Structure 1
């Protein structure tokens, strides 16, 4: 079943979402292996990135893309920029799966040296090495956001595939931690509230002890010190974390504005398993997810807790 057909099934027959999402994850995994053995290799094809896959890098890469790449690839990354018609070949539509299927080394080579036959220039003299890796981290997240449209408030058991970008946070005592510190220990509920969601944050604050018993940490991402007080939170760097996870908030009913890279979501929540994979998502604008009922949220967490390690934790760097 193609991913496109699977999306249509999801729209018409919601009860089949689980099966389609599982199939899509398997197809993406297999396709990745086939893609890597069917394309030419470059000197940098298997080069390891020197910049970690983090929200700071992704957000910076998004800014650099808008400054240096949007003229050809489009303000929404769909290959339809104002300069596209002047090139020998149409620029790539970066929302398509092929973007995430290339090795990071291939993408680094193209970004550094260009693709002469297509008219794409190299940027080695414009962007330093770190900046080029930032762009690649952004492109990987941007592309995966279109595959993540199948995420819903209900997990698909035993099918992790979408790695959660790393970031720094503070626990309720002010100690600095990283998202990856929770691997092998606890699941994470990542909450992006608006000021109008103060009651939701209060609920999460009151439920902390219960959540910890269920191997769940609730983390608030907000620059608002009052909103984030008393719970593990991201205040410094909150904008970068929000921008990065916003890229993963497309849905089967809303692909986003084709002239913008971002979705511009308001309230979002992501459920990340204890191995570092995003497994479910609640979009307040679209979903009736019921996560404000802690019993329902915990029922999802318990499914995750029954799973053993299926994949190794996501790599610190994209590959």
Structure 2
């Protein structure tokens, strides 16, 4: 909205990548997309975009806003009330029946790992070696390849055995969504992350995030991750996370 086309509009267009975009109700956003906002110079899109396209656009805008608000998130669980609902995803691995991230609520905390090869290999080996102990703490590990996930299982190799789910079916869509939540602070914040990890509590909220190379403690020190899991395990639940990705 800050290009030459915006100069003649009645008011400056809103920045749809800013945190405020996630604060409007989905009903308002659907109405505005459908009917426009004449006073602001926004045309209606109801005859241009299908209903499904409008809902997809709303989800995208809300995720952009959430990603902006999440930029200060670190690898340490803060004491504040949780707010960032983990976008749902389908865990489809091999012949096992697919399940969703939401289906793990109440039972498991989740460490969601976005990875690339060969950059993430050492970290994946570290998680594979500690997988049983992480599960004993109530945490499931789910790995999602960034970029081309074709042949990723073969590329990971047989040793050490990676017993946690590595998603291949639908991985590109999952990676695209969570990359919007992977921007940190600092000079390199705009560069796409080659590796990112999200800690999701049993209610379905993202509570902490580790971007390797970011300032402060990191989960490459496994005790730091264990400490966060123990903290979440002792926490009084705040109630289940709402559905934020609509329609």
Q: Smaller-chain TM-score range?
A: 0.7 to 0.9
Contact 2:91/2:99 (8 A) holds in 1: yes
The one of 72, 78, 99 equivalent to 1:156 is 78
Match of 1:297 in 2: 225
> What is the Cα deviation at residue 172 of structure 1?
7.7
Aligned mates of 1:172, 1:308 — CA distance in 2: 36
Match of 2:136 in 1: 213
1:112 aligns with 2:34: yes
The one of 241, 244, 248 equivalent to 2:181 is 248
1:133 aligns with 2:39: no
> What is the Cα deviation at residue 205 of structure 1?
1.8
> What is the Cα deviation at residue 129 of structure 1?
0.5
Contact 1:246/1:265 (8 A) holds in 2: yes
Higher mean alpha-carbon deviation, 155-164 vs 271-280, is at: 155-164
1:264 aligns with 2:192: yes
Contact 2:212/2:218 (8 A) holds in 1: no
> What is the Cα deviation at residue 233 of structure 1?
2.0
Unaligned stretches of 5+ in structure 2? none
Aligned mates of 2:58, 2:73 — CA distance in 1: 23
Unaligned stretches of 5+ in structure 1? 1-78, 258-262
Aligned mates of 2:54, 2:11 — CA distance in 1: 23
Contact 2:195/2:211 (8 A) holds in 1: yes
> What is the Cα deviation at residue 256 of structure 1?
5.1
* 1:40-80 deviation digits (Å, cap 9, x = unpaired): xxxxxxxxxxxxxxxxxxxxxxxxxxxxxxxxxxxxxxx31
Aligned residues: 236
Pair 90,158 (structure 1): closer, same or farther in 2 beyond 3 Å: closer
Alignment partner of 2:71: what SS?
helix
Contact 1:146/1:250 (8 A) holds in 2: yes
Aligned mates of 2:217, 2:189 — CA distance in 1: 20
Pair 237,172 (structure 1): closer, same or farther in 2 beyond 3 Å: closer
Aligned mates of 1:94, 1:156 — CA distance in 2: 27
* 1:70-102 deviation digits (Å, cap 9, x = unpaired): xxxxxxxxx313421232221111233331111
> What is the Cα deviation at residue 181 of structure 1?
1.1
Alignment partner of 2:88: what SS?
coil
Aligned mates of 2:23, 2:244 — CA distance in 1: 17
Contact 2:71/2:184 (8 A) holds in 1: yes
Give the alignment's TM-score, normalised by structure 1.
Answer: 0.68
1:225 aligns with 2:144: no
* 1:198-236 deviation digits (Å, cap 9, x = unpaired): 121122122221111100011110122233964212212
Higher mean alpha-carbon deviation, 115-124 vs 172-181, is at: 172-181
1:237 aligns with 2:170: yes
Alignment partner of 2:99: what SS?
strand
Contact 1:157/1:304 (8 A) holds in 2: no
Match of 2:106 in 1: 184
Pair 177,232 (structure 1): closer, same or farther in 2 beyond 3 Å: same
